[in-house]
Amino acid sequence: MNYFELFSLSPVYDLDTALLAERYRDLQRTVHPDKFANASEQDKRIAVQRTAQVNDGYNTLKHPILRAEHMLSLKGIDLSHESTTVKDTQFLMQQMEWRESLEAIKHCDDPDKLIDQLHHSFADYREQITAQMSQLVGSDDQQALLDAADLIRKLKFMAKLQDELARAEDALF
């Protein structure tokens, strides 16, 4: 299913999330199962299915990584069940440095400073990757789409690192 069509939105990465939320509320009012309380069992079932589609679509388009994956899947590149890893050596080296820094938080004299540095480092890298990806994911060029897929893999890794940093920060407090 094309969630952009469901919400009557242009298939772009830089989505107007306020408009998305507005369209979500409008669709929910239209398909919500409560509106079909006195309808036939089949109509009730269809309402539940439509509500699930609207919820899935909203959650997909609301989150940048999922939105990018959806855009690629619409162009024939499905990342949802893959196990391909990033082969960018420079990124892998940076990944190792970040992981070492995460481990160092426990034993660091000034963990707040290290946590702050990591937050900034992650945000800077994510911003850089996102800018590149937003240009590539809308392309019809196969190589650009494959490059966008690699960037999505990196963003997924960054999201995991961000979660690990939040856990390390929580453990200190």
pLDDT (0 to 100) of residue 151: 94
24's tokens: 């979500």
Per-residue pLDDT of the chain (173 residues; tens, 9 = 90+): 999 999 999 999 999 999 999 999 999 988 877 777 777 888 778 888 999 999 999 999 999 999 999 999 999 998 876 667 778 899 999 999 999 999 999 888 999 999 999 999 999 999 999 999 999 998 999 999 999 999 999 999 999 999 999 999 998 87
With H, G, I as helix, E, B as strand and everything else as coil, classify residue 126: helix
Q: Which amino acid is at 3?
A: Y
pLDDT (0 to 100) of residue 172: 82
Task: Give dist(CA 120, CA 43) in Å, integer.
Answer: 51
pLDDT (0 to 100) of residue 38: 72
Residues 80, 119, 87, 147: is their CA dihedral positive or negative?
positive
Distance of CA 47 to the CA centre of its chain: 27
pLDDT (0 to 100) of residue 35: 74
Q: Beta-carbon neighbour count of residue 158 at 10 Å?
A: 20
Closest C-alpha among 92, 132, 97 to residue 117: 97
pLDDT (0 to 100) of residue 150: 93
Domains of the chain, with CATH numbers? 3-62 (1.10.287.110), 89-172 (1.20.1280)
pLDDT (0 to 100) of residue 41: 82
pLDDT (0 to 100) of residue 82: 67
